[in-house]
Amino acid sequence: MQRLTNKVAIVTGAAQGIGAAFAKGLAAEGAKIVIADVGDGTNTANEIIRSNGAAIYVKTDVSSAEQVKAMVERAVAEFGAVDILVNNAAVFAKLGPKNFQEISSAEFDQVMAINVRGPFECAKAVAPIMAKQGGGKIVNIASSTVFKGVPNLLHYVSSKGAVVAMTRCLARELGDQKINVNAIAPGLTMSDGVLNQPGYTPEYIQQNMGGRALKRKQVPADLVGAMVFLCSSDSDFMTGQTMAVDGGNVMH
Ligand SMILES: NC(=O)c1ccc[n+]([C@@H]2O[C@H](COP(=O)([O-])OP(=O)(O)OC[C@H]3O[C@@H](n4cnc5c(N)ncnc54)[C@H](O)[C@@H]3O)[C@@H](O)[C@H]2O)c1
């Protein structure tokens, strides 16, 4: 039995990587998908359609309030509702490791604009629609780096710390509207972004895996079960939480 039949889900950053896996996983459970990505999300949309699902791609920079508003309006025009928002879009792998002294103010601001203000803009745009519909689910993508304080990626780790905090604030503010807000904190995952970044050497990946209770590479599919759970009625009494899905690296 499908668990998300006829639900409408916006998945940001679903052109590739973990976001594409989320979009396909939610579609397999019956959700109609809006792929909101600054990159080309046509392939993800076509894959879903070929599997008899429903999907549209709307080119969107999540750091632009105007583009986010237009994307949400398009979602409603196309599918008539917004039940689920997955705030997955972020800059990550391409940042590369840097001592914090080497991070420019401009790069720091860019990471915050996409990784923190992006989810804020998206939540702001969908919450009134979800409230009017009688409820909804927002799932933010954080990172297990927050709980480890991983060095040489200060702007990124700080941005994901803010996502954990934002998840808690939104959960408190939106509880009365029956909107659940939770987060998933993935471990190092073999997404397109990571696979295309030579900085993630086999040695680095091996060392990261060594810290896990389950010592193998994490792939995007490892995150889909938790996502479907948080988007479905199975998690209706859970909000403000951050689930680490990282093979038992961080435990909190
Ligand atoms: N891969 C990992 O190891 C890992 C670990 C922990 C958390 N995460 C988080 O998981 C999420 C997905 O990561 P990934 O590794 O699949 O990344 P990825 O780089 O493979 O894909 C990211 C997607 O986001 C899109 N995007 C970037 N900026 C955008 C913007 N301004 N507006 C709209 N879309 C934008 C990109 O075009 C791309 O399609 C991110 O939030 C990331 O921080 C990843």
All domains in the chain, ordered by first residue: 8-245 (3.40.50.720)
How many alpha carbons fall within 13 Å on the CB side of residue 236?
6
Distance of CA 176 from the midpoint of ligand 1 (Å): 31
Average model confidence (pLDDT) for the chain?
98
Given the residues 57, 156, 200, 204, the one annotated as active site: 156
Q: Whose CA is nearest to atom 11 of ligand 1?
A: 88
Give the single-character DSSP code of 203. Answer: H
Spatial contact of 17 and 23, defined as CB atoms under 8 Å apart: no
Low-confidence ranges of the chain (pLDDT < 50): none
Q: What is residue 87's predicted lDDT score, i.e. its pLDDT?
A: 99
In the annotation, is 156 catalytic?
yes
- Closest-CA residue, ligand 1 atom 7, reads 143
Where do runs of H (alpha helix) occur along 29-113?
A: 42-50, 65-79, 105-112
Tell me, what's the pLDDT at 16?
98
Whether residue 71 has its Cβ less than 6 Å from ligand 1: no
Cα–Cα distance measured from residue 57 to residue 37, given in angstroms and rounded to the nearest whole number: 8
Res 252: pLDDT: 83
- How much distance in Å is there from the Cα of 90 to the middle of ligand 1? 4
Task: Look at residues 252, 228, 203 and name the one whose alpha carbon lies nearest to residue 29.
Answer: 228
Q: What is the pLDDT of residue 1?
A: 84
Q: Identify whether the C-beta of residue 10 lies closer than 8 Å to the C-beta of residue 36.
A: yes
* Alpha-carbon torsion, ordered 238, 241, 245, 250, to 10 deg: -140
CA quadruple 35, 129, 176, 146: dihedral, nearest 10? 20
Distance CA 119, CA 240 (A): 15
Kindly state if the Cβ of 191 falls inside 6 Å of ligand 1.
yes
Q: What is the pTM of this model?
A: 0.99
